[in-house]
Structure 1
Amino acid sequence: MGIVSEFKKFNADLKNPNWSVSSISSNNELIVSLWGHKPLLSKHPTERKQVYRDRIDRWSCNGRNEFKRNLDLALEENLKIRPIIAMLNNSSDFQNILEGKDGSQYPKRFNAKTN
């Protein structure tokens, strides 16, 4: 599905569908699109959950500043964080993302993790 429809599943609207990757929902939760590729997303070694590790300074597009503001707000107000997993259609392109290339330039699909 597209990013807009996946954010709608959490009652959240994107400020700009071309570059936004986060939003505060009407339920006061941080909704954020995260890459689903390794090494950023991995399975927890002992628990039934996934772990996401990334750096905000790795990217520089317009959505970065909005994401940082939303993340700071979520931490200040202890908001629940709800993920939408983004997967590139061609996983071999992911190295470009890790090198800081603009992820909006690559075809991808999104999946809201509603559970």
Structure 2
Amino acid sequence: MISRYAVVAFLIAPLVAAPALASAQPSSAPAGDATTRPPRNAQGTGVVTAVDPAGGTVTLKHDPIPALGWPSMTMDFKAAPALIAKLKVGEKIAFDVNEGHIVPEITAARKR
């Protein structure tokens, strides 16, 4: 028969260990996630698939961007109105991007 002390110890052990386990981080953990670290800048290449001046966005089908860990994909980017005005659907571009915390932003674009 199991003693009462053994049952109590069994029930309390996870409560005592949980704070210690929650604060432990593996040594390979990244130094912050996308919301706590400063936004990173990188360069990429892609094709303009949509331009939305009213929404302030440009949609690009871009190649992988290793500096950000991004695979190739189609996604929306914020951009300044002057930059949006210069971009045309179907145009191949090289671009500078700031990954931002919510929506990445194209900060410069050059025709390829």
Fold shared by both chains (TM-score > 0.5): no
Structure 2 length normalisation: TM-score? Answer: 0.26
* TM-score with structure 1 setting the length: 0.26
If asked which structure has higher relative contact order (CA below 8 Å, sep 6+), I would say 1
Tell me which structure has the larger Cα radius of gyration.
2
